[in-house]
Amino acid sequence: GQQVMQIPQYQHVQEGEDFTTYCNSSTTLSNIQWYKQRPGGHPVFLIQLVKSGEVKKQKRLTFQFGEAKKNSSLHITATQTTDVGTYFCAGRGGATNKLIFGTGTLLAVQP
Amino acid sequence: GAVVSQHPSRVICKSGTSVKIECRSLDFQATTMFWYRQFPKQSLMLMATSNEGSKATYEQGVEKDKFLINHASLTLSTLTVTSAHPEDSSFYICSAPPGQGAHYGYTFGSGTRLTVV
């Protein structure tokens, strides 16, 4: 079945440092979504990428979708303590409406 | 935006009993609801897809008779964990997909933390 892997599993940074998480799917995706889950909370939608090679920005967050539509990345510039949480990519493949989550990257930010 | 209300948020039950978890779409109609399970420090694993008015679709390895799913109306989907055992202790969360053409993501309930003792 479809697998979506993320690296790293865990990242600890000093406040102000940059952070990147990478997402790789075993199959081509129709689109990819990114979610943030705070400790004890539920996933919250961040963004959706649809086009091959697409790049989108949300303030300090930059999202990319690979040319082959099998990988994606999330980059955070100058992290803040409010960025703490687990970042998941999630893919939808083919005609299915199912959302398959990546393994996630837990970000810890030290003030 | 779309809101999914999930109850209860926490439940502790004795081994062998059943627990029902409800997810309601508050301001929209959800013909489909996805049910996930999340163990500590792990990702969300899709368990099943509930469809209003028809049988749920279960992912490989998920026991249909143990995790009963009902989607009786366009605003309510339920997951019942039957004869719960300690290994069923987990965070269960539902999710509704966006409407066709919508540019927002899936809406998640707040989750149910189940502890079986």
Determine if the peptide bond prior to A8 is cis (ω within 30°): yes
Residue A21 clears pLDDT 80, i.e. is over it: yes
A78's torsion region: left (phi>0), alpha (psi -120 to 50) or beta?
Answer: left
Q: Model confidence over B3-50: pLDDT tens digits?
A: 899 999 999 999 999 999 999 999 888 889 999 999 999 999 999 999
The residues that bridge with B68 in the sheet, in sequence order, are B80
Q: What gap in Å lies between CA A51 and CA A56, rounded to an integer? A: 11
pLDDT of residue A87: 98
Q: What gap in Å lies between CA A82 and CA B61, rounded to an integer? A: 37
Query: Tokens 């927002």 label which residue?
Result: B104
pLDDT confidence bin for A63, thresholds 50/70/90 = very high
pLDDT of residue A95: 65
Chain A's closest residue to B106, CA to CA, is A45
Q: Model confidence over B40-59: pLDDT tens digits?
A: 999 999 999 999 888 999 99
Query: What part of B 26-65 touches A (C-beta under 8 Å)?
Result: 32, 34, 36, 41-46, 49, 60
Q: Which of A85, A88, A89 is nearest to A107 (CA)?
A: A85
Q: Model confidence over A29-39: pLDDT tens digits?
A: 989 999 999 99
B105 vs A97: CB contact, 8 Å cut-off? Answer: no
Quick count: other Cβ atoms within 10 Å of Cβ B63?
10
Chain B's closest residue to A99, CA to CA, is B46
User: Between residues A94 and A52, which one has the greater pLDDT?
Assistant: A52
The residues that bridge with A63 in the sheet, in sequence order, are A56, A74
